[in-house]
Amino acid sequence: MKNKVKENPRRKQETQHRADRIQAFWEEVQTLEQEQVLALPEEQRQALRAHHDQLLASFSRQFELDTTQVQKQLSLGMRIVSLLGALTFSAALFFFLYQFWDLFSTPVRVAILLSTPLLATVAVEFTARREKILYFSPILGLLAFTALALDLYLLRQLFNLTPSATGLLALTAFAFILAYTYNLRFLLIAGLLAFMAYLSAGFGAFRGVYWLSLGQRPEDFIVAGLIITGLSGIPHPEYPAFPRVYRVVGLMAVFLAVLFLGTYGYLSYLPLPPKRVEHLYQVAGFVVSGAFIWLGVRRRLQDVVIISNVFFIVFLYTRFFVWWWELLPAYLFFLILGAAAVLLLFYLKWLRRLTQGPQP
Amino acid sequence: MRRYGFLAAILFLVLVNAVLFLRLAYNRGGEPEGKVTLTGREVAITEMIALPDTAARKRPGSLVRLTYSGDCPWFDAAKLEAVGFDCRVPPGSDAPVYLFRMRPRQTYVVLEYEGPAYEAWRRETEKNIKDLEEKEKKGEIKSGEKYLIKQSRESLISRSRLFPMDLGNDAAALRQRYPDRGRFIIAPGLVRIMPSGPKGGQPRGAVSHLLVESLSLSDRHRDQLEKILRGFEVPAGKPDSPGLMTPEQRPRLRFTLCYGQNYEPWVADIRLVEEAK
C-alpha cells in the first residue's frame, strides 16, 4: 500500500503539531483542575478524551507520530542512530573496495561499480515502501550516494580518464532526486555539499584555474554558501524542513570561510596584504553574523538566529584568544571571557524580547 | 511523484554511466592521437599486492606510474602568460607571496622521449660526475659529494628519459608543432607559477603533475607483467613473490602507451626485450 507520509511531509508535520497541542491541552486541563479553576463535566471530559485518543491512535497508525515525550526522545535517538548507520555503512563500502580492489578482475570491478548504486537505490525504494517514518531509507540513500561517488571516481581511475567537475554535478543531481523523492534530509545535505563544491570549482574554472584547487580560495565558498542560503527562499510546500537545511548548510559555509580567511589572509582573492585581509575578515565575521542575527529575528527564522549566534560567539572568542592569551595573565584572560559572557547574556536577553512580539 | 522519482534515480544512474562509457569509447576509438613505446625507466611499477591465500604470494598492483623529469628551464614568464597566468606583480606587494598564492592552471604538456633535453641532461650529469671524480682523486671531495657521485651514477641508468619540452592550451596546435607521434606525448597537465630570481620576484613555471599519471592496467597486461617479473630473481625468503628488477634490468621492460582523442592514455602492450638499450 502506498504510504502518504513520504508523499505529504507537510501534512505529517501539521498532524504532529496537532498531536503536540492535544498533549499540551490535557496537561493544562490537569493543572487548571488542580488549581480549581476548571471543572469539566465527567461526561464531556470522557467524550473529549475518547475523541482525542481516537485521533492520536489514528495519527499514530497513519504517520507513526510521537504522541508522548518519551516517544519523541526515542525518535530523536533513532534519527541519530540512522545518521551514524548511514555514515558507517558508507565508510564500510569505501574500505571494502579499498582493501580488495586489486584482487578483482576488470569485469568484476565494473560490475561492482555499476550495480552498487543501482541496488542501493532499489533498496531505498523497497524500505521506503515499508517504513512509515524513514529510518532505514536515509542509510541506504547515503550508501547509494557514496556508491555513485565511488563509481565515478574508480571508473575514471580504471580507464585512465581525466577528473572532471561534472562528477560533482552528477552527485548533486542524484542526491537531489533521492532527497526530493523520499524527503530525505541527509541526502539533501550531501547534495548541497556536492553542489557547493561544484559551484566553487566552477568559479575557479571560470577564471581558468584548475577545478580541483577549489579549496584554495575560501571566498568561493562564501559566494556558493550565499547562493544556497538564497535558494531557501524557493517555496517548499511539500517539504517544510528543507528550507532550514538550505539555510544551515549555506550559512555554515559562509561563516566557516570567513573564520578561515580571518586567520589565513593569503588565501583571499583580495589584492591586499594578507594581514590586512585577515583584519578585514575578522571585522566581517562580526558584521555578517550580526546582520544574519538581525535578519533571523526579523524573519523569525530560529535556525538562522541560532547558527549566527554560535558563530558570533566563535568569532568573538577566537579574537579574544588571539589578542590576549599571550599578553594577559590567565586569570585576567578568563575574567574578560566571563565578562564577555555576561554581556552576551544581556544581548541575548534583548534578542529574546524582540522575538516575543506577535507572530506575523 | 515517488514512483517517478525512483525511476528518475535509476535512469539517472544508467545515464551517468552511459556517458562515461561513451567518453571512453570516443577516446579509444579510431587512430590513437599518440603512440609511444617507453621503458621501465619511464613507467614505474608502484606496488605489489598480497594475494589473500598467502601473505607471501604477491603480484603487481593494477596501477603503474608514468614518470618524467621535472626540469623545464624553458618555462619562463612568456610561456606562463601564454597559458593564462598574469605575471605582473602589483607594485608594493610581496612578490614571492603574491606568486605563491596563484593557483595552478590546466593545460597540455608536451613530453619528449629521449630527445635533446634528455641528451643535454645526460651530458651535464656525466660532466658533473667526471668533475667530482677528479676532485675525489685529488682528495678534495666532501662526504656529501661522494653521495652525489653515487646518486648521479644511479640516475644515469634509472632516471626517466621523458622530458617536458613545451606546453599550450591548444593541443591540436601543439601536435602540428610536434608531429612525431612516436616521440612526443601530448597530455593534459597542471602547471603552476613559482617565485625565482633575486628576492623571488621573477615568475617561473613548473609542471605540477599530469592529470593522468597513474595508469591502470587491463587484466591481460597485468598478467603479462606478472609473468615477466616471475622470470627475475625473487627476494630472499619470499619464494612466491614475483622477481624484482634491478635498475639495470628495468630498461628491458617495454610499455606501449596510446593517447586517445581526449588525450587520455592507456597501456596497449607490455613486453620484455633481451638486451637493455
In chain A, where are the structural domains located? Answer: 1-67, 76-198, 217-360
Kindly report, residue by residue over A43-102, the tens digit of the pLDDT: 888 888 888 888 887 877 776 666 677 777 787 788 888 888 888 888 888 888 878 888
Of A128, A156, A177, the CB nearest to B8: A177
Across the interface, do A162 and B212 touch by the CB < 8 Å criterion?
Answer: yes
Residues contacting A189, CB < 8 A, separation 6+: A245, A249
CB B159 within 8 A of CB B42: no
Kindly report, residue by residue over B207-222, the tens digit of the pLDDT: 999 999 999 999 999 8
Of A102, A114, A148, the CB nearest to B49: A102
The pTM of this model reads: 0.83
Task: Give the DSSP per-residue string, B56-106.
Answer: T-EEE-SEEEE------TT--HHHHHHTT---PPPTTS-HHHHHHHSPPEE
Average pLDDT, chain B: 87
Burial of B234 by CB count in 10 Å (0-12 exposed, 13-18 middle, 19+ buried)? Answer: middle
Across the interface, do B104 and A210 touch by the CB < 8 Å criterion?
Answer: yes
Residues contacting B229, CB < 8 A, separation 6+: B45, B60, B242, B243, B244, B245
How far A84 CA sits from the closest chain B CA (Å)? 24
Question: Which chain B residues are within 8 Å of A180, Cβ to Cβ?
Answer: 5
Q: Mutate which of A109, A140, A159 to disrupt the B interface (most B C-beta within 10 Å)?
A: A159
Question: Which chain A residues are within 8 Å of B212, Cβ to Cβ?
Answer: 160-162
- Other Cβ atoms less than 10 A from the Cβ of A79: the count is 16
Q: What percentage of chain A reaches a pLDDT higher than 90?
A: 39
Of B9, B12, B216, the CB nearest to A157: B216
Residue of A nearest to B3 (CA): A181
> Residue B147 corresponds to which cell in the numbers above?
653521495
Q: Which segment of A3-12, A160-169, B186-195, B224-233 scores lowest on mean pLDDT?
A: A3-12
Kindly report, residue by residue over B42-89, the tens digit of the pLDDT: 998 877 665 555 555 567 778 899 999 988 889 999 999 999 998 887
Across the interface, do A266 and B97 touch by the CB < 8 Å criterion?
Answer: yes
Q: Give the whole-angstrom CA distance, residue B161 versus residue B277.
A: 12
What is the average per-residue pLDDT within A242-250?
95
Of B16, B101, B265, the CB nearest to A266: B101
Q: Give the whole-angstrom CA distance, residue A195 versus residue A185.
A: 15
Of B2, B216, B264, the CB nearest to A162: B264
Across the interface, do A273 and B94 touch by the CB < 8 Å criterion?
Answer: yes
What's residue B243's pLDDT?
61
Cβ pairs A/B, distance under 8 A: 113
Q: Please determine, for residue A198, whether its predicted confidence score (pLDDT) is greater than 70.
A: yes
Q: Which segment of A73-87, A230-244, A310-324 scores lowest on mean pLDDT?
A: A73-87
Which residue from B267, B235, B263 is spatially nearest to B107, judged by alpha carbons? B263
- Other Cβ atoms less than 10 A from the Cβ of A98: the count is 11
Helices (H) and strands (E) in chain A, counts: 13, 0
What is the average per-residue pLDDT within B32-40?
94
Strand segments (E) across chain B: 34-39, 43-45, 48-50, 58-60, 63-66, 105-113, 162-168, 184-196, 202-210, 214-216, 253-259, 265-272
Question: Which chain A residues are within 8 Å of B105, Cβ to Cβ?
Answer: 208-210
Burial of B90 by CB count in 10 Å (0-12 exposed, 13-18 middle, 19+ buried)? Answer: exposed
